[in-house]
Amino acid sequence: MIVSAPQDFSAVSSSFREMAKGISKFSGEVFPHDRALYRRLVHDGQKPRALMISCADSRVIPEMITQSQPGELFVCRNAGNIVPPFAQMNGGVSSAIEYAVVALGVRDIVVCGHSDCGAMGALLKPQSLEAMPNVAAWLRHSHAAEQVVAKTCPAGASDADRHRALALENVVVQINHLRTHPSVAAALAAGTLTLHGWMFELEHGQVLAYDGELGHFVPMPDDDAPPVAAVSPRDGSAKHALPTAAE
Nearer to Zn ion, 39 or 140 (CB): 140
Question: At its nearest, how many Å lie between Zn ion and the CB of residue 220?
Answer: 19
102-141: which residues touch Zn ion (CB under 5 A)? 117, 119
Is residue 146 involved in binding Zn ion (CB under 5 A)?
no
Helix (H) or strand (E) holding 216: strand 216-219
Beta carbon nearer to Zn ion, 60 or 193: 60
- Please state, in angstroms and rounded to a whole number, the distance separating the CA atoms of residues 241 and 246: 14
Polymer length in residues for the chain? 247
> Is residue 54 classed as helix, strand or coil in its secondary structure?
strand
**Contact string 33-72 vs Zn ion (x = CB under 5 A):** ----------------------x-x---------------
Q: Which is nearer to Zn ion, 102 or 132 (CB)?
A: 132
Least separation in angstroms between residue 133's CB and Zn ion is 19
Spatial separation of the C-alpha atoms in residues 210 and 226, rounded to whole Å: 9
Q: Is 188 helix (H, G, I), strand (E, B) or coil?
A: helix
Can you point out the beta strands (E) in 7-166?
A: 50-55, 73-78, 108-114
Cβ neighbours for 182, distance < 8 A, ≥ 6 positions apart: 86
Residue 10: helix, strand or coil by DSSP? coil
Which phi and psi angles does 75 have, rounded to 5°? Answer: -115, 135
218 touches 227 (CB < 8 A): yes
- Nearer to Zn ion by Cβ, of 139 and 209: the residue is 139
| In the complex, least distance from residue 17 CB atom to Zn ion, rounded to whole angstroms | 27
Q: Toward Zn ion, which CB reaches closer, 101 or 119?
A: 119
**Of the two residues 188 and 200, which places its CB atom closer to Zn ion in the complex?**
200
> By C-beta, is 57 or 169 nearer to Zn ion?
57
Q: Which DSSP symbol is given to 126?
A: G
Q: Nearest distance from residue 114's CB to Zn ion, in Å?
A: 6
Q: Measured between alpha carbons, how far is 18 from 22 in angstroms, rounded to an integer? A: 6
What is the Cα–Cα distance from 208 to 220, expressed in whole angstroms?
5
- Minimum CB–partner distance for residue 120 and Zn ion (Å): 7
Distance CA(110)–CA(229), nearest Å, equals 9
To Zn ion, the closest distance from the beta carbon of 119 in angstroms equals: 5
Nearest-approach distance from CB 121 to Zn ion, in angstroms: 9
| Number of residues engaging Zn ion in binding (CB under 5 A) | 4
Question: Can you give the binding site for Zn ion, defined by CB under 5 A?
Answer: 55, 57, 117, 119
